[in-house]
Amino acid sequence: MYDIAEEDLLRADLYDFLGAMLSHPPSADLLKKTADLTGDSSEIGEAIAALSKVARATNTKAAEREYNALFIGMTRGELLPYASYYLTGFLHEKPLAALRKDMISLGLERADNVFEPEDNIASLCEMMGAMIRGRFAAPISLDKQRDFFNRHLGSWAGHFFADLEKAKHSVLYAPLGTVGRAFMAIEKEAFRMTGDSAH
């Protein structure tokens, strides 16, 4: 086992939770875990409390309908949660190629059962969680986490989560959008400060 600081484990948990909620419709178990979350008086804590409240009133069928409307749709969902799309307006563009290159250098592999482009928000959150926790190899240094975040999440994930907050089909996912937006802002600022102190 790796010795990981408590605050880093909390960061990894939040990345993993966002990844789980965004990779597919939540299972009954994940909905129950979400309903059991408690928040505090911070922006992110209040958003978690709001998310927990909505989860208590949501069943798996409703969550699945909402997820499909947001991300899948008949031809496409309301939102396209990909770095390439947010940064260039198209899928499968340079951001995806850059990510694949970085994944190789970090020893991160796409799961065999995943057919989505790797630059989708769920995969990126899962990768951040894996790097912090050392799920594939030893935990990755804060410097490398910062580089990865800045290259692949920092420039667009906050916009995606803000869009998720106000998306037409968002009910359960509206407070999840607030959690994600607030978390991305905290991460961005923390990485900026660690970057400044390193120079």
Nearest to 182 by CA among 33, 86, 82, 49: 49
Q: Nearest Cα to 161, choosing from 86, 84, 57, 63? A: 86
Can you read off the two tokens belonging to residue 78?
A: 């309301």
pLDDT tens digit sequence for 41-91: 999 999 999 999 999 999 999 999 999 999 998 889 999 999 999 999 999
For 6-25+81-198, give the CATH class: mainly alpha
pLDDT in tens, 113-168: 778 899 999 999 999 999 999 988 889 999 999 999 999 999 999 999 999 999 99
User: Residue 129 is which amino acid?
Assistant: G
Domains of the chain, residue spans:
6-25+81-198
